[in-house]
Amino acid sequence: MDSGQALLDLGDTGRAHQLITEGERLLPTARDKTRGVFLAYRAASHLDLNEPEPAAAAATQSLLLARRTGAPRCMKLVDDLLPHFKPYQHAQGVPELFHLAAT
């Protein structure tokens, strides 16, 4: 997953998403906080690519995990992403993400 994040930073999003996804699958449930952080990173990268639907799905998963595990860092990462979803208010999953974040 760290390699995937490094590739995201370098702009190689296709390979990065593949490595992050593979890494997430290998994480045990005890590492859900880590999974939530990487889901937030994935959401940010999808937003950078103007892909609001997968971004909203990843951000929603991240927020749900953060709340379940009590991960304030992860919650903050998602909160910081919310303004970037405003141009996509009507995209699939974005209204639900806003609603979840408000509750």
What are 21-59's pLDDT values in tens digits?
A: 777 777 767 778 888 988 998 898 889 889 999 999 999
Q: Is the pLDDT of residue 8 over 90?
A: no
Helices (H), the chain: 2-10, 13-26, 32-48, 52-69, 72-85, 94-102
pLDDT confidence tier of residue 4, bands split at 50, 70 and 90 = low
Query: Mean pLDDT over residues 58-73, rounded?
Result: 94
